[in-house]
Structure 1
Amino acid sequence: MVNNTKFMSNLRTTRTVILIPHYNNLIGLEKSIKSVYHSKGIDILIVDDGSSPSQVPDLLKLQKIAAKNTTIKIVFSKENKGIATALNIGLDIILDLDQYEFIARLDCGDTCVANRFFLQEKYLDQNSKTALVGSWARWIDQESKNELFKFKPPIHHKKIKRMMSVRCNFIHPAVMYRTSVVKEIGKYPDNYEDAEDYAYFFNISKNYETANIPKFLTNVDYNTKGISVENRKSQNRSKLKIIRNFGKTDIFQIYGVFYNLALLIVPAKFVFSLKKKVFS
């Protein structure tokens, strides 16, 4: 399915590869790639998850819109098998290439500030025990381009670990983690529908130190047809399962169970309105 030849960046000092799963969202993919920059160079691995013919990415076109020191590779799947499978295909390739220290994430439509990857690499260099680092993030309306709300998760590992029993304290497209951790802990689980990132990061936070940089390094494109909106019920059921399976029996786990049960009952529009008020 894929020719695992080395990226051209083997001749550069590239330390990070950005993993982007793609499915029928070329406009969003191009938008994300245009936002990627690293003064020392960075690579992008796109896993196309069985997009329709009109939405299949064109490598030459994407390479033209990317920064000059960015190298892109695309892997194509014949069938649409979901984001967890696409991410794990990407991780398999990255592990096989064995040339990167760090793996960063970005989703189609989401954008980064210019120094995001430099700051995350720098943080991991200065904090050798930290396995995963995220950041604060803003949610941007896809149509109006206005800021809807912002999320400032805990910064330090102790609080992150404690609060993981309530909600995921990492924004998936805002994280960077060490490749060595993937080698040790494995890939994304496929038994937590629409919440594979929560389960993966919960497992990492139980076994390694984690952190969030207190800066808005990523803008999340709010899409009414995205996984978090379209599959909200199944996602919340998976979150309850994750809290039970990974959480420690304490007051935070109890709170997390009731909190996520409430999210199953409360209408999505009300939750969205509440987020705008609380996180504005």
Structure 2
Amino acid sequence: MQNSKYTVLMSVYYKEKPEYLSLSIESMLNQTVKPDEFIIVKDGPLTTELDEVINNFVTAYPKTFNIIVNETNLGLGPALAKGIENSKNELIARMDSDDYVVSTRCERQLEKFREDPKLGMVGSYEAEFVDDIDNVISIHRVPSENDEIERFMHRRCSVLHPTVMYKKSAVLKSGNYQSVLLYEDYDLFARMVLEYHIKSYNIPEPLYYIRTSEDFFKRRGGIKYAKTVLKFKWGQYRKGYMSLMDFCISGLGQAFVCVLPNSLRKIFYMKFLRK
């Protein structure tokens, strides 16, 4: 396949589980079009077990892996920004350290870039699973076409972060990842789509399997989380990325969901935000 070189970008920190990390890396190495480079950013000191997993892959694929070490934990945004800057390829595929992807994910995304050279970012749906990839509990769907992605971005992030393959030049043009608590992805993608008008597309199939649990809903609750939501989305309003109406519906609405009991918050997510 022409133009098939791409980099995988992953950040790892000490709380990850070694078995999940191993499965995640293997699923990317088993792509039908294999990565030319695999960047792992060690975001701060890792456990011995995590280091062992990474070292085993580096030993097996010494020409593929590029390990970047942060002496202290910088957070996801700055860690990924380093990876973007150090990528040797124009096309970069994001991957989280505890998930799984189907073997044709990157081939399908590369095909889209080849079909439309103006594209700067290609994502997909994601399947949310508990414990095992055969136990899918929901499908997270997002708009497919560029105009739909742009409209949707005014209220919710219309590109699912770990599913994306994007162009290095498009990310750097848009200011790269920045340190934005909980919203590194939305912050970057809003700039790419709404300010720099980077053409985007989402493949309307779940090519990515994201691990979830009861903690998923707990982590998205509480007064502290609600304040973070409001701060970020007010900032989006101040930048002109959303209207006051968008802020009221998206920001205030999400903050309200944050303060609901966890059982009700789970019902809301599953009924209105997932299928």
TM-score scaled by length of structure 1: 0.82
Q: What is residue 15 of structure 1 aligned with on the other side?
A: 5
Q: Which runs of 4+ in 1 moved over 6 A?
A: none
Amino acid of the structure 2 residue aligned with 1:57? D
Question: Is 1:124 aligned to 2:116, yes or no?
Answer: no
Q: What is residue 264 of structure 2 aligned with on the other side?
A: 270
Identify which range, 38-47 or 160-169, moves more after superposition: 38-47
CA 19–155 in structure 1, closer or farther in 2 if over 3 Å, else same:
same
Alpha-carbon distance, 1:182 to partner: 2.4
Alpha-carbon distance, 1:224 to partner: 5.2
Instruction: For residues 133-185 of structure 1, give each alpha carbon's deviation from its aligned partner in whole angstroms, at most 9, with x where no partner exists.
Output: 11000111137962121111001111111111221111111011111112322
Contact 2:33 2:104 in 1 (8 A): no
Contact 1:48 1:77 in 2 (8 A): yes
Amino acid of the structure 2 residue aligned with 1:23? Y
Determine helix, strand or coil for the equivalent of 1:57: helix
Alpha-carbon distance, 1:209 to partner: 1.4
Question: Is 1:256 aligned to 2:255, yes or no?
Answer: no
CA 238–220 in structure 1, closer or farther in 2 if over 3 Å, else same:
farther
Alpha-carbon distance, 1:210 to partner: 1.1
Amino acid of the structure 1 residue aligned with 2:57? L
Where do 5+ consecutive residues of structure 1 fail to align? Answer: 1-12
In structure 1, which of residues 83, 96, 103 is the aligned counterpart of residue 92 of structure 2?
103
Counterparts of residues 84-233 of structure 1 (less than 5 Å): 84-94=77-87, 99-142=88-131, 146-190=135-179, 192-206=180-194, 207=196, 208-223=198-213, 229-230=218-219, 232=221, 233=225
Contact 1:35 1:111 in 2 (8 A): yes
In structure 2, which of residues 17, 23, 28 is the aligned counterpart of residue 31 of structure 1?
23
CA 274–254 in structure 1, closer or farther in 2 if over 3 Å, else same:
closer
CA 40–175 in structure 1, closer or farther in 2 if over 3 Å, else same:
closer
Within 2, Cα distance between the matches of 1:121 and 1:69? 24
Amino acid of the structure 1 residue aligned with 2:142? P
Amino acid of the structure 1 residue aligned with 2:249? Y
Within 2, Cα distance between the matches of 1:235 and 1:139? 24
CA 131–73 in structure 1, closer or farther in 2 if over 3 Å, else same:
same
Within 2, Cα distance between the matches of 1:235 and 1:48? 26
Identify which range, 143-152 or 163-172, moves more after superposition: 143-152
CA 70–133 in structure 1, closer or farther in 2 if over 3 Å, else same:
farther
Within 1, Cα distance between the matches of 2:136 and 2:62? 30
Contact 2:127 2:206 in 1 (8 A): yes
Within 2, Cα distance between the matches of 1:40 and 1:267? 44
Identity %: 22
Determine helix, strand or coil for the equivalent of 1:48: strand
Determine helix, strand or coil for the equivalent of 1:213: strand
Alpha-carbon distance, 1:223 to partner: 4.8
Within 2, Cα distance between the matches of 1:112 and 1:144? 10
- How many residue pairs end up in the alignment? 261
Identify which range, 231-240 or 255-264, moves more after superposition: 231-240
Determine helix, strand or coil for the equivalent of 1:75: strand
Within 2, Cα distance between the matches of 1:231 and 1:276? 13
Within 2, Cα distance between the matches of 1:151 and 1:172? 12
Alpha-carbon distance, 1:241 to partner: 3.1
TM-score scaled by length of structure 2: 0.84
Within 2, Cα distance between the matches of 1:104 and 1:112? 11
Within 2, Cα distance between the matches of 1:218 and 1:69? 26
CA 243–145 in structure 1, closer or farther in 2 if over 3 Å, else same:
farther
Within 2, Cα distance between the matches of 1:164 and 1:92? 25
Amino acid of the structure 1 residue aligned with 2:96? D
Q: What is residue 44 of structure 1 aligned with on the other side?
A: 38
Amino acid of the structure 2 residue aligned with 1:30? S
